[in-house]
Structure 1
Amino acid sequence: MNNKALIEILKSRKKPVITVFGDFCIDKYLYIDGALDEISLETGLTAYQVVKKKIYAGAGGTIVNNLCSLGAKVYCVGILGEDGDGYELEKCLKEVGADTSFMIHTEKRYTCAYEKPIRLEKDSEHEMNRIDIKNFSKTPMALQEKLIENIKAVAELSDGVIICDQFEEEDFAAVTSHIRKFLGNLARIYSSVVFYVDSRRYIDRFNNSILKCNEKEISKIFGIDAQVIDGDTALKYAELLYKKKHMPIYVTLGEYGSVLFDGNSHKIPPFPVKGPIDIVGAGDAFNAGAVFALTKGATYEEAAYVGSAASSIVIKQLKVTGTANLEDIIILLKNM
């Protein structure tokens, strides 16, 4: 790969317009001081005392954070509950410069949230059980049709569309079986737009889009043990998925880098990382970096290197939902 040519592509003046569609969450890091524990007079249970909060846009919001940091113009299309978390989430998206005018506000859904308590005790801290807020009923069809209307409106304005299918529950969030079918048709109509999908459970149900999954997700598709997935095995199954979908397949492998099958096999080595790491947001950073590069004119292989570089930067940011910027990615590419 000619990394000098790739760097020039990334530094070009073209500012890509990228839409993030799908599931948006709010990430809340709640810092609990163990020395301030109180016993509730009403229940006799320990009441934990939060002394600090850090709040970030998560899931699709993490992709947005990275895209804005890289320099893209970003539209957001998803669902916000009419609750405090919805207010906070939209505020986070606006603060990084994203356009939220196509987000849907509704009383019929909760804003999805990941609450991450972190207990502070003397000179140590550890993460406690996460508390999740999501929806456990089917997304009303009226909301689905409004989402379709909004993504259709912004697709024609976009160089790229990233679809974030975050949840394993079928039809309970923004990306439903009905919407997946529509997105496949939309990608076919707008063939010059980069359509790219990251899905926790349903990656093989999307059509006409670049597909990205990790080793666990691709192992579920083919009913194999994720422990046996290495670079060669990942390429084998990526090729099988490619033959079914006829679109490029990325598989990320954590510390072992990633692979790509686009008609040819590509192994993408990881960028070395020293010291402690936090893998939260690594996949979303890969997505943002890869699609940013593709909308700038990079090849599929070159985009994988940009995505990998973004991930390696994010995992060094501890106990935050991290972001990568273009300058740091270029430094890594120069030193390959």
Structure 2
Amino acid sequence: MLTSPLIDHILATIPNRTIGVLGDLFLDRYLDIDPALNEPSVETGLTAYQVVGVRSYPGAAGTVINNLAALGVGHIYPIACIGDDGDGYELRQALGKMPAVEQGGIFLSATRRTPTYTKPMLGKEELNRLDIKNRTPTPEDIQDRVIALLDEAWPRLDALLVLDQVSEKDCGVVTAKVRDHLARLAERDPKKFVMADSREQIWEFRNVAAKPNARECYSTRDRGGLSPTQETLDLEVWQRTSTLGRVLFATEGECGISLFDPQSPGRRVRVPAYPVFGPIDICGAGDSCSAGIASGMVSGTTHEQAAAFGNLVASITIQQIGVTGTAPPDLVRKRWSEVNK
């Protein structure tokens, strides 16, 4: 599926492309704790951890943005609402360090918090994560602003990636109202590549491609306690893909990606993963795969070739331990040279 000339073509094309990222922008904040400096709290007697370093990165949709930037996409346009707060300031600072990222589609709200994952690191051990999320429905005026920004950006986008990170229904950027509007835009412009990734609502999207993992594909249907066969599971996916309207990229970890195309019912195309040996860290693997797929599609590849490129990118990022990995062009070429042997 992939060849050296095709990889060179993708990497040479994407600096001239614009990819939008619509969805939930999180702040990933790491607190580096030195265990040698632990001291008891005078007030409670509990151990007071001493933070010696703070690292902040764009998370959720920000991870997709980071991967697009590392690959070399020329223009990246996020569309999101974040809080008018300190976490939002840190997030915008982190985004400002990335090449090609335009922040005109990011707006602030005094009524919403910037979603934040705080990860205390006691030496090399990650302690319990502290999550800040919006757990109340997104106000109507914020939804309308998101839609207006999407309409404004739509003509200039070569592709759009949609990331619905918030599990609580209609509490994030991608609400039912935003999804419905996106479905109408995508229906009017079927040649524009649009791909959605959602933790809980993947089957609520219409007229767009989708990239669920195995759990998101199969776990939302009640089967009365029965264990279905793979044939039954595939039939369910086909039925749902027909309502989705575009190609489904089902990611399956070390097994790669399965493509379900509603234009070819019953024909499942398996795109194998590239083998990886030694320790791996799958944090952010799906987001790096999305960036690879989008980069392929805006370069004129087939769905199979784009999926293969996504697999190649993910095989690079999962080998970067303890960080949310990225795959710049030199690592893409190096990795292809390894697997192409």
User: Which category of TM-score, normalised to the shorter sequence, fits these structures?
Assistant: over 0.9
**Residue correspondence of structure 1 range 1-336 to structure 2 within 5 A:** 1=1, 3-13=3-13, 15-72=16-73, 73-97=75-99, 98-120=101-123, 125-223=124-222, 235-262=234-261, 263=264, 264-334=267-337, 335-336=339-340
Equivalent-residue separation in structure 1 for 2:53 and 2:318 (angstroms):
22
Q: Is the 8 A contact 1:215 1:229 kept in 2?
A: no
Distance 2:232 2:288 in 1: 24
Instruction: Give, in whole Å, the separation in 2 of the partners of 1:232 and 1:305.
Output: 24
Q: Deviations over 1:6-36 (max 9, x none)?
A: 2243143452100000101011122212221
TM value normalised by structure 2: 0.91
TM normalised by structure 1 equals 0.92
Which AA in structure 2 matches 1:9? H
- Flag the 1:160–1:80 CA change in 2: closer, same or farther, 3 A: same
CA distance in 1, matches of 2:170, 2:215: 21
Per-residue CA distance 1:244-272 (angstroms, 9 max, x = gap): 32310011111222211122321121112
1:92 shift after superposition: 1.4
Distance in structure 2 (CA, Å) of the matches to 1:82 and 1:10 = 38
On the 8 A contact 1:79/1:104 being kept in 2, the answer is yes
Flag the 1:99–1:53 CA change in 2: closer, same or farther, 3 A. same
SS at match of 1:247: strand
Q: 1:155 to 1:224 in 2, by over 3 A?
A: farther
Identity of aligned residues (%): 36
The question of whether the paired residues in 1 share the 8 Å contact of 2:2 and 2:308 is answered with no
Secondary structure at the aligned position of 1:21 is classed as: strand
Q: Distance in 2 between matches of 1:8 and 1:138?
A: 45
Give the conservation status (yes or no) of the 8 Å contact 2:186–2:208. Answer: yes
Task: Please give the alpha-carbon distance, in whole angstroms, between the structure 2 residues aligned to 1:331 and 1:84.
Answer: 40
| AA of the residue aligned to 1:10 | I
CA 1:47 to 1:231, structure 2 compared with 1: closer, same or farther past 3 Å? farther
Q: Does the 8 A contact of 2:164 with 2:197 survive in 1? A: yes
The number of residue pairs the alignment matches comes to: 331
- CA distance 1:272–1:230, change in 2 (3 Å): farther
Cα 1:238–1:111, aligned 2, differ >3 Å: closer, same or farther?
same
CA distance in 1 between counterparts of 2:106 and 2:196 reads: 19
Worse-matched range after superposition: 77-86 or 264-273: 264-273
Say what the alpha-carbon RMSD is for the aligned residues. 2.2
Q: Aligned in 2, Cα 1:231/1:38: closer, same or farther, shift over 3 Å?
A: farther
Structure 1, 173-182 or 41-50: larger mean CA deviation: 41-50
Consecutive unaligned residues in structure 1, runs of 5 or more:
none
Give the partner amino acid of 2:151. Answer: K
5+ long unaligned stretches in structure 2: none
User: Relative to 1, partners in 2 of residues 1:278 and 1:234: Cα closer, same or farther, differing over 3 Å?
Assistant: farther
Q: Secondary structure, in 3 states, of the residue corresponding to 1:296?
A: coil
Amino acid at match of 1:84: G
Answer yes or no: is the 8 Å Cα contact 2:13–2:299 preserved in 1: no
